[in-house]
Amino acid sequence: MIVTLLVFAGSILLLVGIHEAGHFLAAKAFGVYVMEFAVGFGPRMAAWKGKETRYSIRAIPFGGYVRMAGEDRREADSSIPENRLLYSKSPGVRAVISL
């Protein structure tokens, strides 16, 4: 039973990671600044910092997210160039990143 649960959680973690990697790679391909790539929710279990992006594995493996600069227009960070913000991209580019 424990092995089954571990295999299930590992499978979900892998699938979520692949799904979120699609958003991440599309954002990077279009020059969007990615602040964090996370697999899972809740507290960080492990994290490391790349050139720009913080990568993390979270405690609850049933989800994940890619946090991009400019997702929320109210969030302002003057250290990130305007052309690297998600909302500065065309609607078509934003749709590709979302899909």
The residues annotated with a catalytic role in the active site are 20
- Contact (CB, 8 A) for 2 and 48: no
How many Å is the maximal CA-CA distance in the chain? Answer: 51
H/E element holding 26? helix 2-29
d(CA 88, CA 3): 46
